[in-house]
Chain A
Amino acid sequence: MPLETEPNIPAPDDFYQALIDAHAGLDDQRSAALNARLVLLLANHVGDLDALREAIALARDGL
C-alpha cells in the first residue's frame, strides 16, 4: 500500500484546527508528548510498514 499523499482529508481546515487546539494550554514537554502519542496512534491505524517507512522518509526529507 503506497502512502497516500494526495488530498485525503475531506475537511482539512477542521482537522488542522483540531490538531492545533489539542495543544492549547500545554507546555512544550506535554505538547511533545501529545505529538508522540498521536504519531503512535496514527501509525497503528496505518499499520502497513512500507507506508510507514515512506512517511518517515518523507518527513525526514530536508531536515
Chain B
Amino acid sequence: MNTRTPARFPYTPPRELAEGGELRVPVAIVGAGPVGVACAIDLALHGVQAVVLDDNDTVSTGSRAICYAKRTLEILDRLGCAETITGRGVCWNVGKVFHRDRLAYQFDLLPEGGHKHPAFVNLQQYLLEEAMLARLQAVGGAVRWKNRVAGAAPDADGVTLSVETPDGTYRVRADWVIACDGARSPMRDYLGLDWKGQVFRDRFLIADVHMVGDYPTERWFWFDPPFHPHQSVLLHRQADDVWRIDFQLGWDADPDEERKPERVIPRIRAMLGDDRPFELEWVSVYTFQCRRLDRFVHGRVIFAGDAAHQVSPFGARGANSGIQDADNLCWKLARVVREEAPPALLATYDVERVAAADENILNSTRSTDFITPKSAMSRLFRDAVLDLSVRHPFARRLVNSGRLSMPTTYRESVLDTPDTDTFVSVLVPGSPASDAPVRIDGHAGWLLDRVGGAPAVLYFMAPDRAGDLERLVQLAGELRVVVVVPAGGSAFSAGDAVVVEDVDGLAARRYGAAPGTIYLLRPDQHIAARWRRWDAPAFERALARATGRKEVAAHAA
C-alpha cells in the first residue's frame, strides 16, 4: 500500500572482516536515526570522525516524526542541513480546535519576526533523515549499513562492540560509544539498564495519506467529533501532499483489525466528509509511553535520543529533543577526546539532558492526560475547558492537544556563571542564544549564523572603550568574536572578529544589551555568562568553566 519506496543505502563488507577483525576508533555511534546522524555530523564538524553502525539499510519507515521546532532547525542549520529541510518542509501558522460538531476556536501562531527559522516546519522523518545523511556524506562521514551491534563489553577505558554483518562478525573497539539505537535500544539491554516510566493505556491509529487538492496548511484537532465520537482526531500537513491523520481508538481497540484498509478507509472518508480521492501511504497503531534511563552516561557508553528517553508524540518532542541531546553532547565529547577537558565534562551532559527529558516527559504527559482523561471527573473538566474555550480566551490557554517543543534552559548548570550584573531580558545564563537579523558588510544575514559552533563572544560595541575590543580581538581564534554595532554604526576592521550591524536593534533588545555588554556562549550556543562591561579575570574564569577546563573538574572531584 505504500506509495513511496524508501531510499536504500549500499552495504559494503567491512575490511576488518578480512584483517583480523577489529576496528579501533575514538567514537562509535550505534544507530543511524536522526540522533545518531546528528551526532556524527556534529563530531565531524568538531574534528572527530566517528564510525556509525546501523542494523538496517534504509531511512526510517512508517509514520514517525513530522514536526521540527525552531531551536532544532537552528541546530540543523549549524550542522549544515537546515536549508534542504526548511525548503522541502511546510510551514503552518493556523491551528483549529474543534469540539463535538463545531469549531471551538482557532489560533494563529504569528511567529515573532526577526528569526531566521519559523516556529516549526513539518516534514516526514524519512525526508529529514535523507537530508541529514547527505550532509554527513558531505562532511566526510559514512554509515556502515547492515552492521548490527550484537553485544557490548564496556570497561574502564572503552567499549568493545561485537558487530554482525551479512558476511560475518567483527569487533569495534571504541574509547566512547554513543548509543542512539532508538526506543527499543539493544544497548540498554547489553548494559542491563532499567527503562522506567509509564505506558498510556490508549491506542492511536496513525495514517499518512496522500491527497491532492486545495486543503489548508493548518493543524486541525478534534475532540469528540461526530465522525469519531468520544475520541480525538488530528490532521496535519507534511511535504508532497502527504497528510498525517491520528485517530484515538481507546485501549480496547484491536490493533490488527484497526490497521486493515477496510477499517481505515471508512474512518478517513467520514472525517473528510466527501468523496475526494486519497491514497494510504502508511498505517500503524501505536501505544505511547514516557520513559527514561536514570542516567544517560554509563562509563564509556553515552545514551542519546529515544534510547535515553521516550515521550508520546503530542508536542513533537522525540526527534526534537534527541537532536538537542546531540547538540549538547558532541562539543563536550570532542573536547574530551582531544584531551582538552576531563571526562567529568560529560557529567554535565547527563545533568542537563536528564533535566530536559524530564521537562519533555512532563509536557507530553500533561497533553496525554488532556487528550485521554483518566477519570470521569478529569473528562468533565476537559469538556468544561473546551466548552468555555468557545467564548473565553483564558480557557483556550488550558486546552492541551500538545505543547510544541521548546528548548530547555540549562538553569544552574555548573557550566554557567551566575549573573553579577542586572539584565532586563528573557534570556538567562543557560538559555539558548536568540537569533536576530543583522547586516554584515552590507549584506543581510543572521546573528546565529555568525556564532556557529565554537565558544563565542558577543560584544555590544562601546565606542568609548576601544581597549575592551582590543582585548577581545586577541581572543579571536580560540573564540569566535562577534562585535555587534548599532544600525548605521561605523564599519571598522577588528582583526578576526566579525562585525555585525544590529539593523533593527533586535539583538540589543533580545539580549538586554547596552554598549559594553558581553555575552559568552558555549559551543552549543547556550549562554554561559554575561556582563555589563569587560572584566578580564571574570571572563577567563567563566570561559574555563564553560568549556569544562577547571571548575567542572573541581566540581566532579
Contacts and interface: CB of A to CB of B under 8 A. Distances in A.
Contacts of A41: 388, 392
A60 B114 CA distance: 47
Contacts of B398: 40
Interface in B377-402: 377, 380-381, 383-385, 387-388, 392, 394-395, 398
Chain A binding surface SS class = helix
A41 B393 CA distance: 11
Determine which residue in B377, B384, B398 has the highest number of CB atoms from chain A within 10 A of its CB, and name it. Answer: B384
B395 A32 contact: no
Interface in A1-55: 32-33, 36-37, 39-41, 44
A44 B395 CA distance: 9
B380 A40 contact: no
A40 to B, nearest CB: 6
Contacts of A33: 380, 383-384, 387
A32 B380 contact: yes
Contacts of B380: 32-33, 36
A61 B380 CA distance: 22
Interface in B349-392: 377, 380-381, 383-385, 387-388, 392
A40 B396 CA distance: 12
B388 to A, nearest CB: 6
A37 B383 CA distance: 9
Interface residues of A, number: 8
Contacts of B388: 37, 40-41
Q: Is the interface of B mostly helix, strand, loop or mixed?
A: helix
B394 A36 contact: no
Nearest to A41: B388
Contacts of B394: 44
Contacts of A40: 381, 384-385, 388, 395, 398
B370 to A, nearest CB: 13
Contacts of B383: 33, 36
B384 to A, nearest CB: 4
A36 B395 CA distance: 12
Contacts of B395: 40, 44
A48 to B, nearest CB: 14
A39 B383 CA distance: 13
Contacts of A36: 380-381, 383-384
A36 B381 CA distance: 6
Contacts of A44: 392, 394-395
Contacts of B377: 32
A39 B387 CA distance: 13
Contacts of B381: 36, 39-40
Shortest 8 CB-CB contacts between residues of A and residues of B: A36-B384, A44-B394, A37-B384, A36-B381, A36-B380, A32-B380, A40-B384, A37-B388
Given A36-B383, A39-B381, A39-B384, 20 more contacts: A32-B377, A32-B380, A33-B380, A33-B383, A33-B387, A36-B380, A36-B384, A37-B384, A37-B387, A37-B388, A40-B381, A40-B384, A40-B385, A40-B388, A40-B395, A41-B388, A41-B392, A44-B392, A44-B394, A44-B395
26 contacts: A32-B377, A32-B380, A33-B380, A33-B383, A33-B384, A33-B387, A36-B380, A36-B381, A36-B383, A36-B384, A37-B384, A37-B387, A37-B388, A39-B381, A39-B384, A40-B381, A40-B384, A40-B385, A40-B388, A40-B395, A40-B398, A41-B388, A41-B392, A44-B392, A44-B394, A44-B395
